[in-house]
Amino acid sequence: MKKVSTAVLACLATILTAAATIVAAPQAQAAPCPAVQVIYARGTTEKPAPLGATGQSFLGSLQAQLPGRAVAGHGIRYAASGNYARPLSYLLSVRNGVLGTQSRIISTIRRCPDTKIVLGGFSQGAAIVGYAISSDLSLRRDLSIVQFAMPTPLPPSISDHIAAVVLFSQPSDNWLGNVGAPPIRLGAEYADKSMRYCLPLDNICDGSPFSPPNPLHLAYVFGGVTYAGAAFAAGLV
């Protein structure tokens, strides 16, 4: 067996080290933690995904009201199904949205424990955000067969990281009950940091029985409603 001289090996090592330095890809740097993280769920079939028009308006208004502070936005990706005729289809859409919201809340807290979280949602998205931090997600008796698949409530300590909850056109208990969904119950820890906006005669949130959304339901991007919601959140972060 032939031996390679120590000098040759040293030279080869130098060349390989230099080559590795040249071709090595830079390591990806984790994004810096923002001062405020908005986690938002859009409404049923609302475009553009993932924030929707209402979410974009809310996020832009909040950023404008917090100059000099980094305000990041994240839209929950879920089906936003409008198939109300099939309660299980609607519940599946909501379930997946709730799981996505809870996962994002937890990952944000773990990665950026000092970041203030603002939760927001419109219509079905408002229900999703409400359920994500609800203390009870029990389904009605005739749908209890799928209760095992529903998300579990987050621990109350999560609220320490959530600065504000802003919900536009949260579906009323009556409307939700008609499509097989449970009422939304936020814990006492959110009493002073949550705000709901419901335009007069918006049939989704005004307590009316189930019916498809009327034109007023789509008016939250007008008249300063999202600006008012952003002002509420800005005062808490």
Q: Which residues span the domain enclosing 60?
A: 33-234
Q: Cα–Cα distance between 172 and 39 in angstroms, integer?
A: 22
Per the residue annotation, which of 61, 74, 194, 202 is the catalytic one? 202
Residue 4 domain flag: no
Task: Assign residue 102 the CATH number of its domain.
Answer: 3.40.50.1820
Per the residue annotation, which of 57, 123, 134, 172 is the catalytic one? 123
The number of domains in the chain is 1
Q: Cα–Cα distance between 135 and 184 in angstroms, integer?
A: 9
pLDDT at residue 17 above 70?
no
Q: To the nearest 5 percent, what fractions of the chain are helix, strand and coil?
A: 45, 15, 45
| Residue 12: predicted pLDDT | 35
Residue 200 domain flag: yes
Annotated catalytic residue 217: yes
The DSSP result for 168-181, as a single string, is: ESPPPHHHHHHTTP
pLDDT tens digits, one per residue of 154-203: 999 999 999 999 999 999 999 988 887 889 999 899 999 999 999 999 99
| Residue 88: predicted pLDDT | 73
Residue 26 domain flag: no
Which residue bears the tokens 């330095």? 21
Mean pLDDT of 132-144: 80
pLDDT tens digits, one per residue of 65-79: 999 999 999 999 998
pLDDT at residue 19 above 80?
no
pLDDT at residue 8 above 80?
no
Q: Cα–Cα distance between 50 and 63 in angstroms, integer?
A: 18
Mean pLDDT of 197-226: 94
Annotated catalytic residue 142: no
pLDDT at residue 121 above 90?
yes
Backbone angles phi, psi at 232, to 5 degrees: -60, -50
Residue 16 domain flag: no
The end-to-end CA distance of the chain, in Å, is 73
163: helix, coil or strand? strand
Number of residues written out for the chain? 237
Annotated catalytic residue 74: no
| Residue 26: predicted pLDDT | 47
- Residue pair 142/174 in contact by the 8 Å Cβ criterion: no
Residue 23 domain flag: no
Residue 230 domain flag: yes
Residue 187 domain flag: yes
Per-residue confidence at 7, pLDDT binned at 50, 70, 90? very low
Torsion sign over Cα 196, 200, 202, 207: positive
Q: Which token pair is 163?
A: 């600065």
- Residue pair 211/171 in contact by the 8 Å Cβ criterion: no
Torsion sign over Cα 177, 81, 93, 127: negative
Mean pLDDT of 25-51: 84
Q: Over the chain, what is the mean pLDDT?
A: 86
Residue 166 domain flag: yes
